[in-house]
Amino acid sequence: MASSRSGRVVILVLDALGPEFVDPGRMPWLSRVADRGAIAPLGGVAELVASTGPNHATLLTGAALAVHGVLANRVFAPDGGIDADPRVKVPTLLDRAKAAGRRTAIAASDPDILNTVNGHSADLAWPTTADIDRHGSPRPKYLPDAATADALVAAVRSGHDLIVGQLQAVDTAVHKHGIDAAETRAARADLDDIVGALTSALADGWEDTLFVIVSDHRAENVASPDPVRLADALAGLADVIEDGSAALVRPREGKLAGVLARAIATDGVDGACPLDGEHLVAWCAPGRVFGRDRAITMAGCHGNLSTRPCIAVVAGGHPAVEAAAAAIRRAPPSLRLWSRIAAGALAI
C-alpha cells in the first residue's frame, strides 16, 4: 500500500555478505545503521538459486523466480541453447517509480545487473560503456566499489527519489580467497567504509529516507575440489546448467520422476525440487560445488540452501521504516518484501 508521504528510497546490496558478519568489530558502520533502525536477527532469505542475477531480479520486482523469469545466472534459451544474460519479464520497482514521475538511479559494480533488471532505462544508470572503458582494456568484468560508491553519493546529492546500488568486491574476494581470508576481510572493511560514506551523504533528508541494506546471498568455503557431477548423472534424462552450488535442471518430457530420484541419489546433492512447470533446482551439500570434468578451483561459492541467509537492515526517518522494522524483527524476510515496502515509501 502506498504511503501518503512520498520519500526517498535507497536500496544497497552488499553482494555475498552473510548476516554473520554484521557485528561492531568487523563492520562498525553497518552495525551503527542497524542500531539506528532494525536488523533481522537471523538475516533475510534469498531465493534458491542463491545467486546474484535471480536475487536482484526478485529484490526489484517483488516476484518469485517463476514469475520474473530470471531462474539463475544463466538459463535455457527458447532455441535450446543457453541464455547467459537473462532479463526480468515483469516491471521492476525502477520501472514503476519512473512511470510515476520519480527520479530513479542505479549504480552497480557488476554491470550485468543493469541488464538483468532493465536498469538502463533509469534516469541515472551507472556504469555506461564509457565508464567501463575508463577502467581498463580489455574491459573489466567488475568495476571498483569505490567508483560505484561515488556514483551512489552523486545520485543522493542530485536528489534522486529511488537509488539502487550493488557492491561486488566481497563476492569476488570470497570466490578467489575464501570467506575469511585477509583479502576478503579487507574487502569487507572497505565495504563498511562505503556504508558509512553513503549514510553520511543521506544525513540531509534522513527524516524522509527509507534506507534498506541487504545482500543477495551469503557464501561458504569450498570443502572439496571434486565436482558434484549432476550433469553426468542425468545424462539422457535432463539438461543441466551449473550455477555454483546450485543447478538449473530441465527434465526431458516424461522424465520428471526419474530426474528427481536420480538427482537426489547423486553423491554431493543435498536436495532438489520443482522451480516452475519446466525446471527443477538442485543444490549441493555445504562445501560442495557442481561441475563436470575439471576440479573445483574456487575457494568460496554460493547457490545452495545454506547460502540463502542474507543481510536485512532498515533505517531512516520515513514512516515506512517503522513497519518494515517490525516485519523483519518478526520473521526472516524474503527479498520479495522490499519492493512492496519501497513502493509504499515512494507513494506509488
Asked if 163 and 155 touch (Cβ cutoff 8 Å), the reply is yes
Q: Into which CATH architecture does domain 8-221+303-345 fall?
A: 3-Layer(aba) Sandwich (3.40)
Is the entire prediction scored with pTM above 0.85?
A: yes
CA distances from 181 to 167, 176, 219, 223, 286 (A): 19, 9, 13, 15, 19
CA angle 346, 9, 51 (to 5 degrees): 115
The string of pLDDT tens digits covering residues 297-340 is 999 999 999 999 999 999 999 999 999 999 999 999 999 999 99
Domain boundaries, the chain: 8-221+303-345, 230-297
The string of pLDDT tens digits covering residues 2-44 is 455 689 999 999 999 999 999 999 999 999 999 999 999 999 9
The pLDDT of residue 81 is above 70: yes
Q: Into which CATH architecture does domain 230-297 fall?
A: 2-Layer Sandwich (3.30)
Mean pLDDT, range 152-178, rounded to an integer: 98
